Amino acid sequence: MHFALPIRAAVLAVVLAASGCGAPPYTPVIPVGGPVDFTIDGLAFHISSGGIYRSGQQFSLYFTNQPDTCTAVALIPQQIFLSLALKISPPTDGSLTASIGVPSPIVFPPSGQAGGALSQLEPLVGPPYQVATKVLASSDGSVSWQANANGSVTITRLDMGFTGTPDRLKFVNLTVRICN
């Protein structure tokens, strides 16, 4: 019986070593084509996932620090989270680039334009179930995209400035899924 303990320890060490060597590399939720960690006016923002909600020809693009953006945006949050929301109205000429400006007071900005904000959201017990504790509105920049055969959308380039800070959010080639 005294020999069983060292044998078990040796077998456990071999199993642990073997399982670590053959482990596949980590695959992020979204294919990364640029930096995904940003600090915008003191808000440390890590893009974990993204999603798009379509509304006719226009769409709303979301990136969050949550593992599933579509769920985080659609459901009642249970924790503090960061969300980048950008409402996009594609140009009527069929091109796939929009100019970013200040958020539109209407649901979507005019054709060829986009607007949005980076928001820190906290949950509430009752309606409206979340409150924005910090909002940084878009000020300038551009966004370009392409539709993919599998139904996803790749944001080929995003360069977004925010009101009141020189900080910018810039990345290329992040692919997101359609949420609706």
Asked whether residue 56 is domain-assigned, the answer is yes
Number of domains in the chain: 1
CB proximity list for 19: less than 8 A, separation 6 or greater = none
Q: Given this model, what pLDDT does residue 30 score? A: 44
Asked whether residue 19 is domain-assigned, the answer is no
Domain interval for residue 74: 28-178
Asked whether residue 15 is domain-assigned, the answer is no
For the segment 78-84, the average pLDDT, to the nearest whole number, is 85
* Model pTM score: 0.76
Beta-bridge partner residues of 155: 145, 174
Q: Are 139 and 117 in contact (CB under 8 A)?
A: no
User: For residues 156 and 153, what is the distance between their CA atoms, to the nearest angstrom?
Assistant: 9
Encoding tokens for residue 157? Answer: 């380039």
Asked whether residue 2 is domain-assigned, the answer is no
Asked whether residue 150 is domain-assigned, the answer is yes
CB proximity list for 167: less than 8 A, separation 6 or greater = 38, 39, 40, 41, 161
Q: Given this model, what pLDDT does residue 34 score? A: 55
For the segment 29-33, the average pLDDT, to the nearest whole number, is 46
